[in-house]
Chain A
Amino acid sequence: MTPPFAARLDGVGVRFGRPKARADQSLVDARDPATALVDATCTLRPGVITGVLGRNGAGKTTMLSLLAAFRRPTSGSVLVGPEGAMEDPWENTWITSGVQLVRESGDLFGDEAVKETLKYYADMRPEWDADLAARLLDLFEVDLRKKPAALSRGKRSAVGAVVGLAGRAPLTIFDEVYLGMDAPTRYAFYDELLADYAEHPRTVLISSHLVDEVDRLFEDVVVIDRGRVLVTGPADDLRARGATLTGPAADVERASAGRTVLHERRLGPTTELTVDGPLNDEERAAATDAGVTVGAVAIQDMFVHLTSGKGQDR
């Protein structure tokens, strides 16, 4: 079995359309609306479930397409492969045979029965588990004889989920696959993903902007905002990164001195500030002694605060 793949992006820029003939090398310009990624640098650890979070149009799909060699970067480098043996995935069959990108649509063959799509993936993926695929199709109640057009969006997504899970690719990428699924199907998908991942460890990327529902699945996270990598690292670090300070306005102001305030809420004499940067035990105790309640900030809220572009320094 192929070991899980790692991946690395180094100073990656992506600009759509034809590169402008310009003398300088700065083809990627953040202010240019055709720019999808700017100087994106991050490492994806092998054998880890990583969440790729970003708002609509942030550049998630572009980044994931680079890893699956569906697209080439305008600048910078992309490497994918087993740790210590990563290669450029572009037109590299050894790497791409180990990368499964499942996109929102499920990537089904347009005018053929679903079973033809599955046959194709079964042939292409060396680690394909036919029993698992059959069990999942049954679980998701997919009719194999139907053509994609006759299936609901949710069922098409479910087929995509089956392709991703049963393929057991060393790098499996789910790009918002579960968006069309109803809640019971989504939860069944998460359960199956965790069970199969625990048994067959591999690298999994899950992109989403519905963070609350999936954030416990992640060991690492990458947050992308307007084409830039904002945060990359363990999910627990992001969970511990923010804090809410609640109490009388003056005390809260004092406790938040020198910190970036991400969000502010006032209710009569009480103020709640969401601040960036973890509080150490000492700062926590000091704030509590001053009558300020210190709370945690969920990944979803942290994500919203970081990407809404309203942080201000104190």
Chain B
Amino acid sequence: MFDGPEPIYVQIAQMIRAQVLSGELGEEEQVMSTTQFATTFRINPATAQKAFGQLVDEGVLYKRRGLGMFVAVGARERLLEEHRTRYFDEVLRPALLQADLLSIPRGAIVDFVWGRPPAAPDKEDS
């Protein structure tokens, strides 16, 4: 785990964000402690601490003194909003660029999105 090219704390933050997004981690639910993170993933506790710090700044987590880290109320909604706006830029745009590279007409993509059978191949519209 955490074998990506980004720094490990960035990957931990991404993992927690993904868990909040999917609902695996509910609002007001407690997150694993830095110690649990450190021993589970064999990483330095400060690395987990750094990820938590970033998520607190983003408003995804908040700290309860003496108890640990919890998922903030409204965190999922905020993350959803953020990811929706980024989806077009980060997912769809590269996919469409790739489609252009492969000369897949936009019509075929729209058909796919709507679940329509692919249109009979006709002359390329230009």
A interface, CB within 8 angstroms of B: 48-49, 187, 190-191, 194-195, 197-199, 216-219, 235-236, 239-240, 295-296
* Contact B46 A48, beta carbon cutoff 8 Å: yes
Asked whether any CB of chain A lies closer than 8 Å to the CB of B8, the reply is yes
Task: Known pairs A216-B44, A219-B47, A235-B44; list 18 more (Cβ under 8 Å).
Answer: A49-B44, A191-B39, A191-B42, A194-B43, A197-B45, A198-B45, A216-B2, A216-B8, A216-B42, A216-B43, A217-B42, A217-B43, A217-B44, A218-B44, A219-B44, A236-B7, A240-B7, A296-B5
What are 17 pairs between A and B in contact, CB < 8 Å? A187-B42, A190-B42, A191-B39, A194-B39, A194-B43, A194-B44, A195-B35, A198-B34, A198-B35, A198-B38, A216-B41, A216-B47, A218-B44, A219-B44, A219-B46, A236-B9, A239-B7
B interface, CB within 8 angstroms of A: 2, 5-9, 34-35, 38-39, 41-47
* Contact B5 A195, beta carbon cutoff 8 Å: no
Which of the listed residues B6, B44, B46 has the most CB atoms from chain A within 10 Å of its own CB? Answer: B44
Bound-state CA distance A199–B38 (Å) is 11
Bound-state CA distance A198–B2 (Å) is 20
Q: Which residues of B contact A295 (CB under 8 A)?
A: 5
Contact of B39 among A48, A195, A239 (CB under 8 A): A195
Give the shortest distance, in Å, between A198 (CB) and chain B (any CB). Answer: 4
Q: Which 7 residue pairs spanning A and B have beta carbons closest together?
A: A296-B5, A198-B35, A216-B43, A219-B46, A194-B38, A198-B45, A219-B44
Bound-state CA distance A199–B35 (Å) is 8
Q: Which residues of A contact B47 (CB under 8 A)?
A: 216, 219
